[in-house]
Amino acid sequence: MNDDHTVLEARNLSKTFSSRSLLGRTTSETRAVDHVSLSLTAGKTYALVGESGSGKSTTGRLLQGLISPSAGEVTIRASNGSTSVQSISRANRDVQMIFQDPYSSLNPRRRIRGILEESLRIIGEREPAVLRSKVDEALAAVGFGEEHAQRYPHEFSGGQRQRIGIARALVVSPKIIICDEPVSALDVSIQAQILNLLRKLQAELGLAYLFITHDMTVVRYLAHRVGVMHRGKIVEEADTADLFANPQHDYTKRLLASVPIHHPSQRAEAKGKN
Amino acid sequence: MTNLLEVVDLRTSFDTERGTVTAVDGASFTVAPGEVVGIVGESGCGKSVTAESILQLLDPASTTYSGQVRFGGEDLLTFGETAMRRIRGNRISMIFQDPMSALNPVFTIGDQLTEAILAHRRIGKQRARSEATELLEKTGIPEPQRRMRQYPHQLSGGQRQRVMIAMALSCDPELLIADEPTTALDVTTQSQILKLLIELKDEFDAGILFITHDLGVVAEICDRVVVMYLGEVVESANVHTLFDSPAHPYTRGLLASTPDIASDPSIDLPIIPGTVPTLHNVPVGCRFADRCSFVLPECRDRPIDLEVLSDGHSSRCIRSVKLFEDSAMSDGVAR
Ligand SMILES: Nc1ncnc2c1ncn2[C@@H]1O[C@H](COP(=O)(O)OP(=O)(O)OP(=O)(O)O)[C@@H](O)[C@H]1O
Ligand SMILES: Nc1ncnc2c1ncn2[C@@H]1O[C@H](COP(=O)(O)OP(=O)(O)OP(=O)(O)O)[C@@H](O)[C@H]1O
Ligand code: SF4
Ligand SMILES: [Mg+2]
Ligand SMILES: [Mg+2]
């Protein structure tokens, strides 16, 4: 670990997916992540941006220990200062993930309270009063109350499910949260509430975030450092202000240039007509 | 022009363990051929339930619909499951908010797309396969040929979303319902998809019901907009009117809280104060009253009616007329 505040370090991570035919022959290989190195710092946000399919979610899953790398390793510094190598066999409670697809990551047969309690049980919490109060606290943080705790996932809207995913990550008080497009399904109002909340938690608890997003407004608001992925590689890395002021890679330039419009009169076709 | 879709006083309720909740409460709106109608509103306002009610996709055991969904001269709410199956993915197709729920995990992308094309066209399998590949390519997915042989779990989030879009477009529907179709896509890919939808509309005169929380997307593609709040339509207007002179305080709040890449990142983002009440505590009077900065005591007395302000513009607020005139004036728009 290169300095005191580094809580996670990925060195030369690679992941190759191979598909096999029925006869077991490898038919195609995808190098989804290609020699990625990055480090996460306590109290700071690292944003990972890049076009669809560039390897952002796969990188997030490697850091969380959900899949194992084809090469390279991830080291994590625990609360007591000791370091360990992240592996699938003993996923680290200090690292939690908010998934891009909230629905398929929630057990459809359990109530929300049960889903959140399960996360706490996995890390060894058994005391009913503690389970209850921690779950209440995490749900309140995303704007939910007892009425929501009793429901099943299918009874929620898309954006509400995404908030459940956020509460589930928060409930175990992790040091590091891998956020995979956590606010892209949310309307601006709740998006702002969640982003403000994430920023507040970071300031209070010194959380480190890896923030995967395609929204440059969010990057500018939340990130300290930005990595730009392209075809599995990090092709550009810079402090946020520098990246916005002086983008180097073509994709970064394109991303920053394509600002969404804010008014129907800005439409390309409307401009011609009016 | 005759409308393609007319939703009249649609009401959708769910039986839950904690009593009946009404997620869509008397929604009415229309979509004409070649028109893009947006539905906007905060999370949980009833946008997806409205869309799923049009196609009767909700669990029949716990869902009750009332009102009318008029399409092609008939009321779809009177149709049984067999008749609805002939409508879905054929005359009306839907892009779902959650791509995994719409894709079958055990079949390849190619098989699913080809199947969808063959289901409504009399062409050979080879031809259907090559059209499927072409459609994938149009959505900007790299290496479409290889993707055809892959399974949904082997794709990234944004790639899956685009496969679903290809699937919904494959039948050249008369009406396309798109529920947050571009949330996983960056701005560049998003505009490519929006172009694709416009093409569909221009080529086949299809109508599009476009659900989104992103007002930038609304500004980009919609002709008219329906704003929902807690199950009700609170404002509906032409897209220009909506952006220039919103009449409902909720719509104004939504417009004001749109983040801007140029705003100061050290300041907390502006939000509409408070949260949407749950469906178990629907207020008697104006449903937005607890969060409204224009609230008057009489707002809470009884349900507020949707009031027509001008041709094609209506708002559910007792102060609409006044607010509408003020906003029209302050924006310097003469009407
Ligand atoms: N299980 C898998 N098997 C085979 N290929 C995979 C698998 N998971 C991901 N891939 C491939 O790896 C590449 C990177 O995928 P990843 O999900 O990391 O992209 P992403 O950057 O998160 O994209 P998006 O913005 O669309 O979510 C894609 O081309 C994808 O098809
Ligand atoms: N099966 C169900 N049983 C009970 N309540 C439900 C059910 N499905 C949806 N709801 C509730 O109905 C309301 C409307 O949900 P809907 O999915 O239409 O919201 P939405 O406007 O699409 O929101 P989002 O932007 O988050 O997707 C929500 O409060 C949701 O919790
Ligand atoms: S009716 Fe009253 S409370 Fe409701 S939106 Fe109008 S001013 Fe606000
Ligand atoms: Mg992804
Ligand atoms: Mg929805």
User: Is the CB of B269 less than 8 angstroms away from the CB of A186?
Assistant: no
Residue B219: per-residue pLDDT: 94
Per-residue three-class SS string for B118-178: HCCCCCCHHHHHHHHHHHHHHCCCCCHHHHHCCCHHHCCHHHHHHHHHHHHHCCCCCEEEE
B248 in Cβ contact with B320 (< 8 Å): yes
Residue B78: per-residue pLDDT: 97
Which token pair is B23? 């997620």
Nearest to A220 by CA among A194, A242, A248: A242
Per the model's pLDDT, the better-predicted residue between A245 and A84 turns out to be: A245
State whether the beta carbon of B16 lies less than 6 angstroms from ligand 2: yes
Q: In whole angstroms, how far apart are CA B190 and each of A36, B182, B183, B195, B217?
A: 27, 6, 8, 9, 9
**Confidence grade of residue B119 (pLDDT, cut at 50, 70, 90):** confident
Residue B333: per-residue pLDDT: 35
Instruction: State the span(s) of chain B assigned CATH 3.40.50.300.
Output: 5-227
pLDDT at B61 exceeding the cut of 70: yes
**What separation in Å is there between the alpha carbon of A52 and the centre of ligand 1?**
8
User: Is the CB of A189 less than 8 angstroms away from the CB of B191?
Assistant: no
Instruction: Specify the range with the lowest mean pLDDT, choosing from A97-106, B131-140, B143-152.
Output: A97-106
Residue B98: per-residue pLDDT: 81
A141 in Cβ contact with A197 (< 8 Å): yes
A36 in Cβ contact with A59 (< 8 Å): yes
pLDDT in tens, A32-80: 999 999 999 999 999 999 989 999 999 999 999 999 999 999 999 876 7
pLDDT at B276 exceeding the cut of 90: no
Nearest to B168 by CA among B122, B70, B99: B99
**Global confidence as pTM:** 0.91
- Tell which of A66, A162, A214 to mutate to test the B interface (max B CBs under 10 Å): A214
Q: Which helix (H) or strand (E) element contains residue B111?
A: helix B109-118
**What separation in Å is there between the alpha carbon of A58 and the centre of ligand 4?**
7
Q: Which residue out of B103, B141, B146, B154 has the highest number of ligand 1 atoms within 8 Å of its CB and is therefore the one to mutate?
A: B154
Residue A271: per-residue pLDDT: 44
Which token pair is A3? 């300095």
User: Is the CB of A192 less than 8 angstroms away from the CB of B271?
Assistant: yes
Residue B257: per-residue pLDDT: 76
Nearest C-alpha of chain B: how many angstroms from A3? 26
Average pLDDT over residues B221-226: 97
Residue B153: per-residue pLDDT: 92
Residue A183: per-residue pLDDT: 81
Residue B269: per-residue pLDDT: 64
B252 vs A239: CA distance, rounded Å: 35
Q: Which residue out of A156, A189, A191 has the highest number of ligand 2 atoms within 8 Å of its CB and is therefore the one to mutate?
A: A156
Neighbours of B89 (CB within 10 A): 19
**What separation in Å is there between the alpha carbon of B178 and the centre of ligand 5?**
11
Average pLDDT over residues B135-161: 92
- State which residue of chain B sits closest to A29, comparing Cα positions: B146
Q: What sign for the dihedral angle of Cα B107, B111, B114, B118? A: negative
Three-class SS of residue B179? strand
B215 in Cβ contact with B40 (< 8 Å): yes
pLDDT at B102 exceeding the cut of 80: yes
What are residue B185's phi and psi, to 5 degrees?
A: -115, 145
Q: In whole angstroms, how far apart are CA B6 and each of A92, B74, B314, B328?
A: 53, 10, 16, 29
pLDDT at A87 exceeding the cut of 80: no
A165 vs B94: CA distance, rounded Å: 25
Average pLDDT over residues B28-41: 96
Nearest C-alpha of chain A: how many angstroms from B216? 5
Residue B242: per-residue pLDDT: 95
User: Is the CB of B98 less than 8 angstroms away from the CB of A28?
Assistant: no
Instruction: Tell me the percentage of chain A whose pLDDT exceeds 70.
Output: 92
Instruction: Specify the range with the lowest mean pLDDT, choosing from A80-94, A173-187, B102-116, B242-256.
Output: A80-94
**Confidence grade of residue A17 (pLDDT, cut at 50, 70, 90):** very high
ipTM value of the model?
0.86
Residue B183: per-residue pLDDT: 85
Does A152 contact B at CB distance below 8 Å? Answer: no
pLDDT at A192 exceeding the cut of 70: yes
User: Is the CB of B270 less than 8 angstroms away from the CB of A192?
Assistant: yes
- The CATH homologous superfamily for domain B5-227 is P-loop containing nucleotide triphosphate hydrolases (3.40.50.300)
Token pair 């924006």 is found at B331
